[in-house]
Amino acid sequence: MSWFKEERKTSFIRTFCNNVIKAGQIPKHVAIIMDGNRRFAKKVKCERSKGHEKGFEKLTEVLEWCFDLGIPEVTVYAFSIENFKRSKEEVDGLMELATQKFDRLMEEKEMIMKHGVCVRALGDLTMLPEELQRSVARVVKYSQNNTKATLNVCLAYTSRHEISNAVKLMAEGVELGLLKASDISESLLEKCLYTSHSPHPDMLIRTSGEVRFSDFLLWQCSYSSLSFLKVLWPEFSVWDFYGAILSFQWNYKAFKDATESCRIKQTQAELDWELQCVLDEMAGVSVSVSNGNGHMPNTRSAFEQNGTTTEEIPLTNGYHGLQTSIHNVEELITKPCIQQRLETYRELKQSRIDKFLAHLENRQVEYLDRICPKRLETYRESKQVRIGKFLAYLHNRQDEYLERMCPKLCNK
């Protein structure tokens, strides 16, 4: 089955509903836990593989609905690391189905470019069979420069694995000398997640009636609008989808306020931490990550040197700012010597972070090139061209045969 639906006229009621919904705030990023394929198969008394096939068909419909409403990014939970615990027969069937669908998507590359879709695969892809890795890599590499819409497919993914992997990457960066321990922050951790190129989801939909995240985008969905629907994924209708979006619009102000409040707190915490690091450097104290008990090096001398007193030794929880009552902090920050040191510190920190992120990006590019080298891709493209010419040759032979055997009918 094709990933792209044939263009057809939308019903009047659908067009009307789309226009009504577009009058409100449209989510820019929708995350979906596609749950209920196996229960659907049991309900209609068919094989599990048929249930998963129906689930894929439903995904193509939902992508069409998102396109109609102008939703630019969708993330779907296709295969969890926990799913490897299922029977070998079912896992092998899912891997085969995924390979077929990604190969099919590559066959429709003209449509990928027409719609400007960027396809990303999120998860530990090394856990997947090599054939599936190659199929995924081909699509990801081909569509990576598209910007009109984004489809994130989570394969061999869990959020805990994603977060622990991000922590390991930062630790590796410190070990390689690309980062300092003091560079580690929430914002840097976010840049190390699989979803680093995407905004956080505005809304999350889960079908089948289960009311849990199942280890999906735990970090990213902290302030997302949640919709848990009592409908199996293959039976998910456009009206269910409209209802989820209306729920998002109804709660949009609260969602927006919570997100903005979180952003302000995170920014302030990072600014406080940078000031702490600068003062520690001025005091000649080595800056390090908290040892876990909440205490940081004594920076009293740094404050005293700059004519500022403290009522207590600055404390931190490892990142989230100065836990102290410091007099005239605003005056301290506005002092030229402090400003200059703070600016220099930020520039050096940003330079280290940029190099570290470039290192991660190069690793990803190297992985894709290794799994799907250019020579292999060029061979496949030339092979496809040869096959196309051969099929056209057979078609022409058939036409010539019919014209030779029945010229009058052909002329008519």
pLDDT in tens, 295-322: 444 444 444 444 544 443 343 434 444 4
- Please give the pLDDT value at position 269: 87
Q: How long a stretch of residues is the chain?
A: 412
Q: In a 3-state reduction of DSSP, which class is residue 265?
A: helix
Full-model pTM: 0.79
Q: Indicate the helix (H) or strand (E) that contains 226.
A: strand 225-228
- Please give the pLDDT value at position 338: 80
Pairing of strands 73-80, 149-157: parallel
How many CB atoms lie under 10 A from the CB of residue 90?
14
- Please give the pLDDT value at position 280: 83
Q: Indicate the helix (H) or strand (E) that contains 63.
A: helix 48-69
The encoded tokens of residue 180 equal 């300092």
Question: 3-state DSSP helix/strand/coil percent for the chain, to nearest 5?
Answer: 60, 10, 30
With CA atoms as reference, report the closest residue to 39 among 213, 211, 234: 234
The encoded tokens of residue 317 equal 């929880």
Helix crossing, 88-107 with 130-143: angle to 10°? Answer: 30
- Please give the pLDDT value at position 335: 75
The encoded tokens of residue 102 equal 């990604």
- Please give the pLDDT value at position 20: 94
- Please give the pLDDT value at position 127: 95
CATH number for the domain whose boundaries are 27-257: 3.40.1180.10
* C-alpha span between 75 and 122 (Å, rounded): 9
Domain boundary assignment for the chain:
27-257, 376-411
Q: Indicate the helix (H) or strand (E) that contains 203.
A: strand 203-206
- Please give the pLDDT value at position 140: 94
The encoded tokens of residue 366 equal 């190297």
* C-alpha span between 216 and 35 (Å, rounded): 12
- Please give the pLDDT value at position 330: 62
- Please give the pLDDT value at position 225: 94
Give CA torsion, residues 324, 326, 329, 332, to 10 deg: -120
Tell me the pLDDT of the chain (412 aa) as tens digits.
667 766 667 788 999 999 999 999 999 999 999 999 999 999 999 999 899 999 999 999 999 999 999 999 999 999 999 999 999 999 999 999 999 999 999 988 888 999 999 999 999 999 999 999 999 999 999 999 999 999 999 999 999 999 999 999 999 999 999 999 999 999 999 999 999 999 999 999 999 999 999 999 999 999 999 999 999 999 999 999 999 999 999 999 999 999 999 999 988 888 888 888 888 887 775 555 443 444 444 444 444 444 544 443 343 434 444 444 444 456 666 777 888 888 999 999 999 999 999 999 999 999 998 888 865 555 556 666 677 778 878 888 887 877 777 765 555 5
Cα atoms found within 13 Å of the Cα of residue 234, Cβ hemisphere only? 19
- Please give the pLDDT value at position 332: 65
The encoded tokens of residue 212 equal 């849990």
The encoded tokens of residue 67 equal 């396109």
When computed from its CA atoms, the radius of gyration of the chain, rounded to whole angstroms, is: 27
With CA atoms as reference, report the closest residue to 193 among 209, 176, 170: 170
Q: In a 3-state reduction of DSSP, which class is residue 284?
A: coil
Q: In a 3-state reduction of DSSP, which class is residue 107?
A: helix
* C-alpha span between 256 and 58 (Å, rounded): 30
The encoded tokens of residue 311 equal 């009522």
